[in-house]
Structure 1
Amino acid sequence: MEVPEAEFFNFEAEKSIEKFQVGQIWSLYSDEDCLPKYYGQITKVASDQGFRLWLRWLEPCALRNDVIQWHDKDMIICCGRFRTNMRKSQSYTSAESFSHKNWSAEIEACDLRKCEYEIVEVLEEKDLGIRVSFLEQVDGFNSIFKAQLKEASSVTMEVLHGELLKFSHQIPAFRLTEERGGSLRGFWELDPSALPGHYFARK
């Protein structure tokens, strides 16, 4: 599926070689569903060779007993605690694999290409979980989203700490202000390359 370009913010500019520094942790796109679900820590950058860098992969730590586990052990874990794999590093000569710096337990890895996602904004972390607000696509735009409303209030929910696997991945986002004469103020432009494909299929 062809991914459209962002309409206002240049997300690709955030992945130029000078943005990469040793010690940073970046998210990389997975082969399973082309969404940013892997993490790597940069160990070396060779800016005198065009684009070339090395990283070590981050691996998820064992989940606590009170956290819901995937039935399919091949499923990617994208949220939680991670450790660096010190055994080997991998080199890259292009930024194409990089996304950004910094749900049912029965789902299987083979289902990733056809499953659908809800987009949420994390509002706050509480003792019991994380409160999120649901976002919806703005009519007429590929990657502009706004808060879902019900009776003039944002639609929210709380994801318990034991349900962290409900989170798939983080999407780079830019808060709109003066674009389109301010008519989109407060809305979010999301990086199209990190959006699930079913949002484009609706057009």
Structure 2
Amino acid sequence: MASLPSDFEDYCHYYSKVNDGQSSSSGHNFRSDKQISKFQVGQIWAYWEQHANGICQCYAQIKKIEHQSFKLHVSLLNLCDNPCNGSSACGVFKLFVGKRKVLAANTFSHIVKAEAFGKKLFNIHPKEQQIWALCKRQEDAGECEIVEVVGTDAVSINVMSLTRVFGSTSVFMSPRTQSSTGKIVAIPRVELNRFSRQIPAFRFTDDCLRSCWELDPAALTGLHLVEPNQC
């Protein structure tokens, strides 16, 4: 695997620097979600890999865990239906049965809620209450915005755009948080390649930021974010 950007590990360890490894009502320790106790054989995880066009979100199934070195042996998932020839974050994936790959813990992002079809096929699509990066145009993975999935049906994924909280780099809010009617947009399933990556997120419950989302800074690396009204 090609090396990750020099600032990637800084993002991964952001919360251990500012919170000394502790989570609180005003911040979530995303690093704790990737402690060794969180990994189990058979789980599907998203991980980060450097490609020619930037950082991509890929998927793998945990096959073996080296507890002392905290390295994980995985089998990769390869996209097997890609009619739009775009992002590989959504669709039906097939488990690769060849040589396994060994990955370090800091390359992983989050556990994936994949729908299994037998032992080798997995369906991965945006689900309600997940946060995703949505590309502005279907044909490229350039400008994008952050959206919350608010509903799904057989033909579309319904999303609501989030805006960054002033003064923060990783806290976002929806229009309904601002006491206004949020605009729900239906993204046709034929445009699933516009969903470029899922963003691990924590929803605040305290009064000040109730219903706002804190996003994992590591998952924002390399994204060219624009305001919702530009998409």
TM range (shorter): 0.7 to 0.9
Corresponding residue for residue 144 of structure 2: 117
Supply the distance in 2 between the matched residues of 1:200 and 1:83 (Cα, whole angstroms). Answer: 31
Higher RCO structure, 1 or 2 (CA under 8 Å, sep 6+): 1
Q: 2:216 aligns with which of 167, 191, 196?
A: 191
Give the drift of 1:193.
0.4
Supply the distance in 1 between the matched residues of 2:170 and 2:80 (Cα, whole angstroms). Answer: 33
User: What letter corresponds to residue 159 of structure 2 in structure 1?
Assistant: V
Q: Tell me the TM-score normalised to structure 2 length.
A: 0.71
Q: Which runs of 5+ in 2 are unaligned?
A: 1-5, 16-25, 113-134
Q: 1:42 aligns with which of 31, 48, 62?
A: 62
1:137 and 1:145 in contact (8 A); partners too: yes
Task: State yes or no: 1:135 paired with 2:135.
Answer: no
- Which secondary structure does the structure 2 equivalent of 1:169 belong to? strand
- Which secondary structure does the structure 2 equivalent of 1:139 belong to? coil
Supply the distance in 1 between the matched residues of 2:144 and 2:195 (Cα, whole angstroms). Answer: 10
Corresponding residue for residue 169 of structure 1: 197
Structure 1 residues 99-137: Cα deviation after superposition (integer angstroms, max 9, x where no partner): 111143432xxxx5xx22210011111122110111010
Task: State yes or no: 1:98 paired with 2:119.
Answer: no
Between Structure 1 and Structure 2, the one with more strand by share is: 2
Give the drift of 1:62.
2.4
Q: Which runs of 5+ in 1 are unaligned?
A: none
Supply the distance in 2 between the matched residues of 1:43 and 1:126 (Cα, whole angstroms). Answer: 33
Corresponding residue for residue 57 of structure 1: 76
Supply the distance in 1 between the matched residues of 2:179 and 2:97 (Cα, whole angstroms). Answer: 52
Q: How many residues of Structure 1 are paired with residues of Structure 2 in the alignment?
A: 182
Distance 1:125 1:43, change over 3 A: same
Cα root mean square deviation, aligned: 2.6
Distance 1:200 1:160, change over 3 A: closer
Supply the distance in 2 between the matched residues of 1:123 and 1:201 (Cα, whole angstroms). Answer: 20
